[in-house]
Amino acid sequence: MMSCPFKPRWERRKDARPQELLLAALDLFVERGFAATRLDDVARAAGVSKGTLYLYYSSKEELFKAVVRENVLPLIDEAGELIQAFSGSTADLFRLFMTTWWERMGKTKLSGLSKLMMAEASNFPDLAQFYHDEVIAPGDAMIVGMLRRGIASGEMRAIDPEIGAKILIAPMIMMMMWKHSYSVCQIPNKDLDSYLEHYIDMALHGLLVR
């Protein structure tokens, strides 16, 4: 008796399933938002049963947290290592940090998570607090650290680094919002790249000691 050359969809490697679920969840969260994404749809998109999904994630909230921890937190860790290891000027560090952020997150589907949180944070305060603690606060702290580095070295003007960090982050968040807007605000990637170059240039002209 010949064996069937094709395995059923349910017989994939067990260790592959969490990653497939996270990829499917990221796609649906970005496309539909948190509230409109159903676990049934995530399971279907990943090619598993809903029961299989519950073996790994007990709720939609836990699934979202896993998406963030798997995809975003490693980028934050890498950014922290980049800052620690960088030995050049703070201006060059700032330029490298922002361009790397845009390449690794802003240009990817992950940027849609920012739009999701901006739109739905008030309806899901616990999830918003998680995102703030895990993503926003560490990102703020890295920019504050860069500003303090530049001020201490005499490269940058003595501004309030906490306020300065929020001002510097805002245009980057707006870029990611624009990228996922289906309104008249939508801007092609090539124009966003030009926006990034102008933003870095204008930011450094405002920060650096003349």
The residues near 24 (Cβ < 8 Å, ≥ 6 apart) are 42, 43, 45, 46
If you average pLDDT over residues 60-86, what whole number do you get? 95
If you average pLDDT over residues 136-143, what whole number do you get? 96
Q: Check residue 126 and give its pLDDT.
A: 95
Q: Measuring CA to CA, which residue among 113, 195, 200 is closest to residue 186?
A: 195
The residues near 175 (Cβ < 8 Å, ≥ 6 apart) are 102, 106, 192, 195, 196, 199
* Mean pLDDT over the full length of the chain: 88
Domain ranges of the chain: 9-66, 72-207
Chain position carrying tokens 């999830």? 127
Indicate if the pLDDT at residue 10 is higher than 70: no
**Euclidean distance between CA atoms 99 and 175, whole angstroms:** 12
**Right CATH for 9-66 from 3.40.225.10, 1.10.10.60, 3.90.650.10, 1.10.10.10:** 1.10.10.60
Angle subtended at Cα 104 by Cα 87 and Cα 81, rounded to the nearest 5 degrees: 30
The residues near 182 (Cβ < 8 Å, ≥ 6 apart) are none
Q: Check residue 140 and give its pLDDT.
A: 95
Q: Check residue 184 and give its pLDDT.
A: 47
> Residues of the chain with pLDDT > 90: what percent?
75
Indicate if the pLDDT at residue 14 is higher than 90: no
> pLDDT tens digit string along 51-71?
999 999 999 999 999 999 999
| Banded model confidence at residue 187, pLDDT cuts 50, 70, 90 | low
If you average pLDDT over residues 11-30, what whole number do you get? 79
The residues near 95 (Cβ < 8 Å, ≥ 6 apart) are 200, 204
**Euclidean distance between CA atoms 187 and 148, whole angstroms:** 33
Indicate if the pLDDT at residue 12 is higher than 50: no
Query: CB of 34 within 8 A of CB of 60?
Result: yes
Query: CB of 134 within 8 A of CB of 66?
Result: no
Indicate if the pLDDT at residue 15 is higher than 60: no
Residue 126: CB atoms within 10 Å = 8
Indicate if the pLDDT at residue 6 is higher than 80: no
pTM (2 decimals)? 0.84
Ramachandran area for residue 4 (φ above 0: left; ψ -120 to 50: alpha; else beta): beta
**Right CATH for 72-207 from 3.20.20.80, 3.40.50.2300, 1.10.357.10, 1.10.3720.10:** 1.10.357.10
> pLDDT tens digit string along 116-137?
999 999 999 999 999 999 999 9
72-207 has the same fold as 9-66: no
